[in-house]
């Protein structure tokens, strides 16, 4: 019995790894292990012998079991020590950046709109957001007394004391870019101008800054029919489905005739779907460029004619992505953007391939 004890305690203490320990456990105290077999022999002993041998064998079994457990723990400690010596972490290293941003719906829609019109041969033109009242109003056939000036809730800048020139304005629409482009390139013209515009207005469907995309096509024989085709092409490409349009006679000082254009939609449970149903939603103003506007841009109205339109980009974004409140574009966070499925900047976008 003492031999058995010494043999196993020695083997356990010399075991190199857990696998060896497990073998020893089976050999000693496993079902057919040496000690287990000895315990089975207890049955053949006299009660007196059994009274002596029973407790001894139990004690030996316990001793070997705890030796096995102790050795197992020691081996694990040694393994951890060895790992700690070879692996280490420098917590002072600068962390790796994680891309958190995502493209804003307005930027994304602007890219989408620009790409579709580019396919139809429209180049992008730009103009300043702080405009003279000439470009924003007069050149567009909106003289000083015209009610449209008041209707547009214009933001005016201040002139210095004693300076009586008319103040600059925050452009109320992208239409001044029509005049600037006519002056710069002359006819023929085929441009769009996406950009920010400003009006003093704030509620669920109006914000003081919003976005429009202006369109202008001038040529020798460009007609209202061309306007309708271009817009229908645009809407079908933008919404990915055939979209009926409705032209309603309207009035803008800078177009004659003028039309407001609605697109077909349905309203269900507060959700709007474009391209189906019996409702109409106004999305833009348009018309044939007024001869006075052509003249103001230095173009002969007897030689050239064409159409212009101004689309609300924010409205388009709300319709395409089912965003109910315009104000959300300005005070929402990343979770909101993700909810509406806007991609992180890691994903390729029209914004110039893979964002850096
Ligand atoms: N500028 C007009 C607006 O803001 C829209 C428009 C543009 C209408 C071009 C006709 C032609 O509301």
Q: Given this model, what pLDDT does residue 207 score?
A: 87
Instruction: Give the closest residue (by CA) to ligand 1 atom 10.
Output: 286
For residue 188, cis peptide bond before it (omega within 30 degrees of 0): yes
> Could you identify the atom of ligand 1 that is nearest to the CA of residue 309?
9
* Lookup result for tokens 């009586």: 164
Q: Which of 145, 199, 150 is nearest to 171 (CA)?
A: 199
Q: Which of 32-41, 50-59, 256-265, 314-323 is most confident?
A: 256-265
Helix (H, G, I), strand (E, B) or coil at 327: coil
Q: Using 50, 70 and 90 to split pLDDT, how confident is the model at 178?
A: very high
Q: How many CB atoms lie within 10 A of CB 330?
A: 10
CA distances 145 to 66, 135, 141, 169, 174, Å, are: 102, 16, 11, 16, 21
Burial of 344 (0-12, 13-18, 19+ CB in 10 A): middle
Mean pLDDT of all residues belonging to the chain: 88
Angle between helices 47-86 and 18-29 (to 10 degrees): 180
Whether 37 shows a pLDDT value over 50: the answer reads yes
* Lookup result for tokens 């790796």: 96
Lowest mean pLDDT among 2-16, 35-49, 325-339: 325-339
Mean pLDDT of 303-307: 98
Mean pLDDT of 113-132: 97
Instruction: Give the closest residue (by CA) to ligand 1 atom 4.
Output: 173
Higher pLDDT, 38 or 311: 311
What is the rounded distance in angstroms from the CA atom of residue 20 to the CA atom of residue 257? Answer: 95
Q: Given this model, what pLDDT does residue 197 score?
A: 96
Q: Using 50, 70 and 90 to split pLDDT, how confident is the model at 334?
A: low
| Separation of CA 135 and ligand 1 centre (Å) | 14
pLDDT digits (tens, 9 = 90+) for 241-253: 999 999 999 999 9
Lowest mean pLDDT among 58-72, 218-232, 323-337: 323-337
What is the rounded distance in angstroms from the CA atom of residue 52 to the CA atom of residue 42? Answer: 10
Mean pLDDT of 106-132: 96
Contacts of 110 (CB under 8 A, 6+ apart): 194, 211, 213, 313
What is the rounded distance in angstroms from the CA atom of residue 238 to the CA atom of residue 68? Answer: 73
Ligand 1 binding pocket (C-beta < 6 A) is 173, 175, 252, 255, 285-287, 308-310
What is the value of pTM for the model shown?
0.69
CA–CA–CA angle 146, 215, 134 (5° rounding):
35
Q: Given this model, what pLDDT does residue 290 score?
A: 98
| Separation of CA 337 and ligand 1 centre (Å) | 29
Helices and strands in the chain: count of H runs, count of E runs: 13, 10
Task: Output the six-digit token pair for 224.
Answer: 């209202």
pLDDT digits (tens, 9 = 90+) for 154-173: 999 998 999 988 889 999 99
| Separation of CA 21 and ligand 1 centre (Å) | 86
Q: Given this model, what pLDDT does residue 192 score?
A: 98
What is the rounded distance in angstroms from the CA atom of residue 249 to the CA atom of residue 159? Answer: 39
Task: Output the six-digit token pair for 239.
Answer: 């919404």
| Separation of CA 137 and ligand 1 centre (Å) | 12
Q: Given this model, what pLDDT does residue 261 score?
A: 95
Mean pLDDT of 298-326: 91
| DSSP per residue, 135-171 | HHTGGGT--TT-HHHHHTT--BPPPPTT--SPPPEE-
Q: Given this model, what pLDDT does residue 323 score?
A: 77
What is the rounded distance in angstroms from the CA atom of residue 294 to the CA atom of residue 290? Answer: 7
Q: Given this model, what pLDDT does residue 348 score?
A: 40
Whether 183 shows a pLDDT value over 90: the answer reads yes
Q: Given this model, what pLDDT does residue 349 score?
A: 42
Q: Residues 39, 43, 49, 54: is their CA dihedral positive or negative?
A: positive
Per the DSSP assignment, residues forming a β-bridge with 131 are 169
Whether 353 shows a pLDDT value over 60: the answer reads no
Percent of the chain with pLDDT over 90: 47
pLDDT digits (tens, 9 = 90+) for 189-210: 999 999 999 998 887 778 899 9
What is the rounded distance in angstroms from the CA atom of residue 187 to the CA atom of residue 217? Answer: 9
Mean pLDDT of 255-276: 88
Higher pLDDT, 55 or 222: 222
Lowest mean pLDDT among 34-38, 255-259, 300-304: 34-38
């Amino acid at each position: 019995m003492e031999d058995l004890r010494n043999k196993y305690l020695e083997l356990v203490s010399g075991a190199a790894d857990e696998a060896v320990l497990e073998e020893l456990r089976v050999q000693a105290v496993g079902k057919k292990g040496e000690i287990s077999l000895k315990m089975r022999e207890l049955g053949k002993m006299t009660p007196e012998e059994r009274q002596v041998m029973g407790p001894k064998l139990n004690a030996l079994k316990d001793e070997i079991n705890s030796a096995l457990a102790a050795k197992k723990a020691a081996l694990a400690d040694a393994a951890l020590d060895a790992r700690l010596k070879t692996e280490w972490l420098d917590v002072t290293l600068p962390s790796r950046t994680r891309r958190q941003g995502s493209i804003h719906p307005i930027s994304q829609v602007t890219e989408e709109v620009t790409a579709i019109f580019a396919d139809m041969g429209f180049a992008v033109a730009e103009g300043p957001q702080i405009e003279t009242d000439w470009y924003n109003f007069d050149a567009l056939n909106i003289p000083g007394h015209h009610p449209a000036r008041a209707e547009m809730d214009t933001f005016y800048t201040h002139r210095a004391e004693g300076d009586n020139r008319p103040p600059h304005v925050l452009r109320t629409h992208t239409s001044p870019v029509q005049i600037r482009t006519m002056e710069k390139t002359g006819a023929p013209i085929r441009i769009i101008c996406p950009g920010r515009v400003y009006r003093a207005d704030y509620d669920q469907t109006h914000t003081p800054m919003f976005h429009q995309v202006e369109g202008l096509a001038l040529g020798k024989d460009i007609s209202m029919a061309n306007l309708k085709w271009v817009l229908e092409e645009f809407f079908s490409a933008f919404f990915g489905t055939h979209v009926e349009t409705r032209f309603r006679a309207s009035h803008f000082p800078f177009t004659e005739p003028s039309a407001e254009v609605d697109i077909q939609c349905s309203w269900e449970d507060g959700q709007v779907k474009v391209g189906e149903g019996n409702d109409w939603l106004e999305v833009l103003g348009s018309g044939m460029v007024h001869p006075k506007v052509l003249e103001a841009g230095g173009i002969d109205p007897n030689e050239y004619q064409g159409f212009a339109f101004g689309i609300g980009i924010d409205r388009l974004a709300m319709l395409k992505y089912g965003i109910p409140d315009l104000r959300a574009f300005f005070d929402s966070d990343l979770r909101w953007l993700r909810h509406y499925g806007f991609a992180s900047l890691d994903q390729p976008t029209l914004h110039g391939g893979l964002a850096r």
